Amino acid sequence: MFRKLVWFAVIYTFVVVVVGAYVRLADAGLGCPDWPGCYGELTPHHAQDDIARAVLEQGGTHGPVSLGKAWKEMFHRYIAGGLGLVILAITVMAWVRRRELQQSPLLATGLLALVMLQAALGMWTVTLLLKPVIVTLHLLGGLAILALLALLALRQQAPPRIAPVIRSRLRPWALLALLVVIAQIALGGWVSTNYAALACVDFPTCHSEWLPQMDFRHGFQLVRDLGMTAAGTHLSYDAITAIHWTHRIGALVTLLVVGGFALWLTRSPGLARYGIALLCVLLAQVTLGIANVLGGLPLLVAAGHNAGAAVLLVTMVVINFALHRGLRSGD
């Protein structure tokens, strides 16, 4: 039961992460500008009058508030709340059955603490009006929950049989590849939360240049409002370009490091299937990234790119777990 519940939580978390990305990309993050309810109500249906007044004040449904956007935002909150209850159940079971499971309940407890922090970040995302650093941390928090749940699920399975010499040789490179993926996901989150995905609409160049004019100082200021510098002036297009261009360079580094590691895995006994899976996910993710630029950021493709990042992260967690917990080939 515990193993099934944990694997259910992994799938559930993936859905929550993808839906959250869809809400952000659909510009529905402020569909309900308060928290945890919607204009003080449980559902957008009960807040229809307030939403209608807000739509009139903003001059139509093209702004951040509309009934449809409110439902998208609240649906994400509902399923995120359900995930919190699932992880609470996992934590309780981990403590009550810790002797039977023969595992420390600390990982499950840490997950519960992370969910509570994630809820606070979700609240601040709304109340602080989509401040980029908060929204990015909220994205990373969701993916961290997914990764840790995947690790907890893997702990319930028998580890694979991998020769010790292969494990020791590949471990440092697996960790490096994981760190590169995490860094690239953080850069992708910064692109998304600053609405910089279409700062460069050509590929592989940017504004028909390999090295366009950029403003890194303001683009990577963490403590500032959306679309503004820390000094309160409007964020320049050069700053947005710097954010986008850096993510492209990160994608190239990720392709080389993670792709090279995947090819190495395909030539390692007992690990070929991991390498093939990693290579497929990586190439699909790069393809989706390019399609976002050339296609003008189609909503489903952009959401798929976020889903691809989650799958790539989980794949790296699986590989690192296999290399750190793999049994000796003779056992």
Farthest-apart Cα atoms in the chain, separation: 72
- For 198, list phi and psi in degrees, rounded to 5: -110, 25
Mean pLDDT, residues 60-65: 90
pLDDT tens digit sequence for 14-48 = 999 999 999 999 999 999 999 999 999 999 999 99
| Alpha carbons 32 and 290: distance in angstroms, whole number | 32
Q: Which long-range contacts (CB under 8 A, 24 or more apart) does 99-103 make?
A: 101/2, 103/155
Cβ–Cβ under 8 Å, residues 227 and 202: no
Packing angle, helices 48-58 and 67-96, rounded to 10: 130
pLDDT tens digit sequence for 172-205 = 999 999 999 999 999 999 999 999 999 999 999 9
Catalytic residue among 41, 73, 100, 209: 73
Cβ–Cβ under 8 Å, residues 270 and 162: yes
Cβ–Cβ under 8 Å, residues 206 and 248: yes
| Alpha carbons 114 and 84: distance in angstroms, whole number | 10
pLDDT tens digit sequence for 220-275 = 999 999 999 999 999 999 999 999 999 999 999 999 999 999 999 999 998 999 99
Checking if the pLDDT of 329 tops 70, the result is: no
Active site residue 73: yes
Question: Around Cβ 45, how many Cβ atoms within 10 Å?
Answer: 13
